[in-house]
Amino acid sequence: MNGIYAVAWKIARLHATGVKSETYPVAKKRSAVRRSTSFEPLTARAFGEVVRSLREAQHLAQDQFALKASVDRSYYGKLERGERQPSLGLLLRIAGALNVPGATLVEKTEVALKRLRGPISVK
Amino acid at 64: Q
Runs of H (alpha helix) within 17-120? 41-57, 62-69, 73-81, 88-98, 102-117
CATH code that applies to domain 41-114: 1.10.260.40
Q: Which of the two residues, 122 and 94, has the higher pLDDT score?
A: 94
Q: Helix (H, G, I), strand (E, B), or coil: what is residue 96?
A: helix
For the chain, the average pLDDT equals 85
Give the integer Cα–Cα distance in Å for 54 and 120.
27
Percent of the chain residues past pLDDT 70, beyond the cut: 68
Q: What is the pTM of this model?
A: 0.68
Selection from 40, 44, 46, 38 nearest residue 113 by Cα: 46
Residues 55-89: pLDDT tens digits? 999 999 999 999 999 999 999 999 999 999 999 99
Instruction: Compute the average pLDDT of residues 12-30.
Output: 60
